[in-house]
Amino acid sequence: MTNVTAGPGAGIRGARGGARAHDARWLALPVLASLAASRTSALLARGATPAAALTGGCHAAFLAAAIAAAAAALGAALLRAPAPQTTGEPAEVTGEPAPCTAFSVRDCRPAKQPG
């Protein structure tokens, strides 16, 4: 993704934004691991078997990750830019059509020769 912000310091602003997203991704793993370990310890203290405690800890971490992902998706859906408004009228066509190439998707028949 390129930064299209213009003006002095535009590259710095883009780099800071990318660093923040990078830090947030790497911060999620230790938080989820701590949550899983905490839940595992609590289940072990209640007398659960080690396998059941580990499973419960992983379930807690997966549930927290799913909630965070759903919240992020909801936030992205609510904060996205609105679609541009159109008038419903087709744009006025001016000028010559683009030349045909080997990769053209439209029907490119040779132009009629005068005469």
Is 54 among the domain residues? yes
Give domain status of residue 86, yes or no: no
Helix (H) and strand (E) counts for the chain?
2, 0
| Any domain includes 113 | no
Token pair for 35: 């949550």
pLDDT per residue of the chain (115 residues) written in tens, 0 to 9 = 444 455 555 555 555 555 565 667 778 889 999 999 999 999 999 999 999 999 999 999 999 999 999 998 999 888 887 777 777 776 676 666 666 776 666 666 665 666 5
> In the numeric block, which tokens belong to residue 47?
């007398």
pTM for this predicted structure = 0.54
Residue 110 lies in a domain: no
105 within domain boundaries: no
**Cα–chain-centroid distance for residue 100?**
36
59 occurs within a structural domain: yes
Whether 38 is covered by a domain: the verdict is yes
Q: Per the structure, how many domains does the chain have?
A: 1
- The answer to the question of residue 112 being in a domain is no
Tokens 């998706």, located at residue = 73
| CA distance linking residue 102 with residue 57, whole number of Å | 59
Residue range(s) defining the domain that contains residue 75: 10-79
